[in-house]
Amino acid sequence: MPKVDDSRVSLSLYQPAVYRDGIYLVLQKCHQLLLYRHLSKEDNIQLIQPIGLHLYSGVSELQVVASFDGSKVIFNRINNYESDIVLLQY
């Protein structure tokens, strides 16, 4: 389970995606960005998968969006050189 201090910094950088049953959120651990899912009914946080690296000059924007039921998650990472759009399904 992520630490509160780590979560506070990450949540200020990467806005979570709220869906019907919970929240998808991106947390930074060292330079690794990790995608988590918080399920409201279970009050449980699950690690989904690593999604990339946070380098101080690299990622300028990371946007996370979820479908209403949470079965699809899209994240868009933009830096000076490229834009990656990734779709995950659960």
How many C-alpha atoms does 67 have within 13 Å on its Cβ side?
Answer: 9
Residue 36 CB neighbour total at 10 angstroms: 20
pLDDT at 57: 47
What residues have CB less than 8 Å from 59, skipping those under 6 apart?
33, 52, 53, 77, 78, 79
pLDDT at 26: 86
Q: What residues pair up with 89 in beta bridges, in sequence order?
A: 72
* pLDDT tens column, 13-64: 788 889 999 999 888 887 788 889 999 898 888 998 888 776 554 555 677 8
